[in-house]
Structure 1
């Protein structure tokens, strides 16, 4: 630090010339009238004042004049806006990124302050020490970036935005904030960016830094234990197996109690002890023949830094049968599924009625697959958007390889399967062309792909490019296994046999009335508005806080949706001390930022005290004077 102060408004030094009229006025004080008196013994002071008023006589030292000179000097120094130089380069435009993800709500046992509170204190110090030529812009960093203020030197605006900043129960995404800052650099010269965080974010960030990043690492919080996973699966007996994963941070061993609440009633409770950095998966079995709401509550037996991960919510769906359409020509599929009690087959022989939407469609043409369904399986044709890449020939072929990790082909053996239709690649066509269109090859033939998978607007699609009934596949043991996998996939897509707790920062999609406005009340008491699309689907609604969201509107009266944190990284409170960017790493520092400290306030206070001293000296009565 440079102990010699700098001056921002050095031109104000011209006000020092006010010393000249001050001294002149002292010499030219008003002369008193002449009076004849019997004696001069009592008028010695008057004679001295007369001598002082004469510009050609040496004047006696005056404390009052000295106070006035000092007062003027300190006022001029205050106008010159002095500051104590830190020695660091001063940034005129300084973006300040503040992490407000879930882990920033973690506290420590000593101060009881959250990491966000510590960040606010440091940023407040910077705002208090702003110089007149500096402008700050505050940016909140959570799952997305939010610009809290534009570049401004208004301390009141900056402090209000800082005070209103709260923690979001979401993971941190630094890349979005850096891209926002890069966009700001097009409107203002940005050389340095400040980033305050506890270091709880992915170590690698895919971003090329066009500016210097000053990573201010906040002190670590205390120990923490939290719920990181909650899901349920329907078993063969019709009950639901509920799975809860609890993880402990690396600070210390900790006991805890886990309680499972079903529709407001406690149905299970278990005590656990986790070592440092350990995790444990708990399993409970519950009965639910209708929609049921579950809440897992974790009660740590030791000091716990983060409260957001101590609750998790899950909804058990209403049990129902799957609605399945199978083309009557596909006899092998209809036969394999005819006795399955979990579904209803269409079209039915004795009824011409059919639902508007299906859960699963297995068809032999594009027309069949134009119906609405969660899972669609095309058999024996090439999709229209692939006809230029693949053609069908009437030749024998077999399976060369298949994706054994695919959910559809799990435990399915396809070796020695003979196929009478052969898909063939067009000239210069390859797998990359399919991937560019969103397709994935699950089964490879000799001259082309045999089975494709595609996820399209929430629908899962499979395409057998050959007719499975014109192959030996239906006569293999793997065929009923594959059909069973298909049913399980559909159950999962429909959320009937397996469900998982929704997590921040996005609400799960809602199926409501088309083209309708809805109001969503958040756990924090804020109201959001969302409009459904032409299919009645609402998606992409931000869920920044854990808890219950209430949806109201046409066809939705107090619909409840609950979201949880469920993020192992946020629960672990792991702190990264280095960020690896595309080109260079950035190492964190825990020392506070050196900034120039303004001194004009101190000089103004001294001037005010001198003014009070002058007033007191002028007003005090001479010694020996009677009151």
Structure 2
């Protein structure tokens, strides 16, 4: 028999006054007024009342007093919560790990809404079965771990922590939760082993590791359990039905931008054949549908074609009531065009003006041309410091201080300094050769800036090779060295071209230095610069992220804040950084998200599960933790048998008896 007190010592002291008060009531002498009666019928009863209410008189036998004290005694025993439980192996310290990943929403369990609710119930039962000498901590985990309650013997705190645990749409990574438990059970040393000054920071504290999960995570091999004794409680069954959408995207036809191609992949990750209808909707309006019938382990590709020139939000849903609903729906979108601001500082460059004024560039770019003397004005200093421009192009000129934005240098070098180990400074960028003729020999076709380009037929009369700082990337190579190089700079990027487009002769007359401006690749290259360096993009497929990911977007730098709205929810205002970068962290719910400035859509993205591991919902019979295999323990932990409810029932029965006796006595 074990006891779990529900009252504090102060409360017990107050409770002990109740039986004392009951006894004192039987000694209390009541004031009674004389009453004249026409007979002696009440004399005997009156004499008995006077005897009972006389102070310091010997207490006479009273069945009512006995019953009342018995009721109080039973209530006290009930508040001590007597109970019995079977002998369980425990080291006195328990670590509860409860899985809150997307697969725990599976509804293949009886008597509970889903696997997560089953896990919560089992954890709650083990908390109630704890002895007074046991302490426990509670950790929830999905793709990240959260310590809901550190070690405590207070069951109320553990109950409150368990009530705060919520299932998520995120994938599973148990390693973070294991590390949280390991930090308490296996304290590390202060230095390397073998060091004479090595000190153990704390005694190792063995603990029972109770893992409540369906086992849908990768094998954890490079982890030493140490003093943790693992117990795996599998949640779920091995007979499930689940069709999952593992891919869904929308792209415009390059030749005909008004045509939208939509692709999706559906996989049967259950244990029996399943069929469904895949329904495609545009802003909740039905567009198309396709049937899917898949054997176990097979997948099917779906394709749709629609026409739209606007930014759109698409949804694909499987019409099936299987065991996991979160992967039956997928989202995709086409982003709107983003207009960027470009400042061009040049003594005059007609090929650049023409390239920035084409119909495609004009849709995504607002350019302003100024002479090099503009860099000496206060207006330029404010623009460069605030980063209001998405891109600054320096043609044959360089600023004294680099601006807080991305840059493109044509025939010039950035003017930034780097510190050397000897305390001196040197130029981060420098020319690698003297001015000479140039023949292109190599190109990085994988980089977005060099997409769709053919440059080996260019004529370049004069140029110099470019040597960039550490971390720079050569995009275009020539016989004299790198000719186009890009390098990072404090969160920004600098692109340097080693030859001029327009040059001046000895007399100051303008002359062309290359035929690139006459090639079809020139406006294509400028579009690549606008899209990659300035952040502009035509209407295209919106990116898709996993639930819980931090979404980093770059919008127009002139925007101070944006409203982020998941379709169907209320918008949330988020500030925008000085360079137009904003981070969105509230991404737990799948759906299409729109980023607006006032009423204008500036960007879009989607949140989808798209995780085969989470959609493979068959509960694992065993898991690999550290270097050992842990078999699932079916049946969980033995429940504690408590008797306080029966004690309360007995107290109520005795209270009813006391009322009956009192009624008969008065009658």
TM bucket (normalised to shorter chain) is 0.5 to 0.7
1:463 aligns with 2:496: yes
Change in CA separation of 1:449 and 1:297 when aligned onto 2, cut-off 3 Å: same
The alpha carbon displacement at 1:95 in A equals 2.6
Change in CA separation of 1:551 and 1:491 when aligned onto 2, cut-off 3 Å: closer
* Residues in 2 aligned to 1:340 and 1:459: alpha-carbon distance in whole angstroms: 26
Contact persistence 1:363–1:378 (CA under 8 A) = yes
* Residues in 1 aligned to 2:456 and 2:562: alpha-carbon distance in whole angstroms: 53
Change in CA separation of 1:157 and 1:570 when aligned onto 2, cut-off 3 Å: same
* Residues in 1 aligned to 2:593 and 2:353: alpha-carbon distance in whole angstroms: 44
1:250 aligns with 2:269: yes
Q: Give the gaps of 5 or more residues in structure 1.
A: 10-67, 426-432, 617-627
Contact persistence 2:288–2:304 (CA under 8 A) = no
Contact persistence 2:318–2:328 (CA under 8 A) = yes
* Residues in 2 aligned to 1:588 and 1:161: alpha-carbon distance in whole angstroms: 27
SS at match of 1:498: coil
1:193 aligns with 2:209: yes
Q: Deviations along 1:283-313, whole A, 9 cap, x unmatched?
A: 423212x4x432313123x542222233334
Q: Give the gaps of 5 or more residues in structure 2.
A: 6-69, 188-201, 419-425, 504-511, 657-667
The alpha carbon displacement at 1:423 in A equals 3.8
Structure-2 residue corresponding to 1:32: none
Contact persistence 2:393–2:408 (CA under 8 A) = yes
Contact persistence 1:312–1:501 (CA under 8 A) = no
1:84 aligns with 2:86: yes
* Residues in 2 aligned to 1:338 and 1:243: alpha-carbon distance in whole angstroms: 32
1:267 aligns with 2:311: no
Change in CA separation of 1:420 and 1:568 when aligned onto 2, cut-off 3 Å: same
The alpha carbon displacement at 1:342 in A equals 0.6
SS at match of 1:357: coil
CA-atom RMSD in angstroms: 5.5
Change in CA separation of 1:480 and 1:615 when aligned onto 2, cut-off 3 Å: closer
The alpha carbon displacement at 1:208 in A equals 6.1
Structure-2 residue corresponding to 1:499: 541
Counterpart among 307, 318, 330 of residue 286 in structure 1: 307
1:589 aligns with 2:631: yes
Change in CA separation of 1:143 and 1:611 when aligned onto 2, cut-off 3 Å: closer
SS at match of 1:143: coil
Change in CA separation of 1:202 and 1:458 when aligned onto 2, cut-off 3 Å: farther
Structure-1 residue corresponding to 2:44: none
* Residues in 2 aligned to 1:502 and 1:560: alpha-carbon distance in whole angstroms: 12
1:307 aligns with 2:356: no
Counterpart among 334, 338, 341 of residue 352 in structure 2: 334
* Residues in 2 aligned to 1:322 and 1:560: alpha-carbon distance in whole angstroms: 13
Counterpart among 389, 392, 401 of residue 357 in structure 1: 389
The alpha carbon displacement at 1:382 in A equals 4.5
Contact persistence 2:2–2:84 (CA under 8 A) = yes
* Residues in 2 aligned to 1:398 and 1:468: alpha-carbon distance in whole angstroms: 15
* Residues in 1 aligned to 2:540 and 2:4: alpha-carbon distance in whole angstroms: 67
Contact persistence 1:216–1:591 (CA under 8 A) = yes
Structure-2 residue corresponding to 1:620: none
* Residues in 2 aligned to 1:512 and 1:207: alpha-carbon distance in whole angstroms: 46
Change in CA separation of 1:367 and 1:197 when aligned onto 2, cut-off 3 Å: farther
Structure-1 residue corresponding to 2:430: 391
1:434 aligns with 2:470: yes
Structure-2 residue corresponding to 1:62: none
Change in CA separation of 1:481 and 1:148 when aligned onto 2, cut-off 3 Å: same
Counterpart among 580, 585, 592 of residue 541 in structure 1: 585
Counterpart among 385, 408, 429 of residue 377 in structure 1: 408
Q: Deviations along 1:321-379, whole A, 9 cap, x unmatched?
A: 665555546859627726731113744699x9999534684755554995676x64333
* Residues in 1 aligned to 2:571 and 2:580: alpha-carbon distance in whole angstroms: 20
SS at match of 1:126: helix
Contact persistence 1:231–1:499 (CA under 8 A) = yes
* Residues in 2 aligned to 1:196 and 1:414: alpha-carbon distance in whole angstroms: 60
Structure-1 residue corresponding to 2:54: none
TM (normalized to structure 1)?
0.65
Change in CA separation of 1:520 and 1:209 when aligned onto 2, cut-off 3 Å: farther
SS at match of 1:151: strand
- Number of equivalent positions: 531
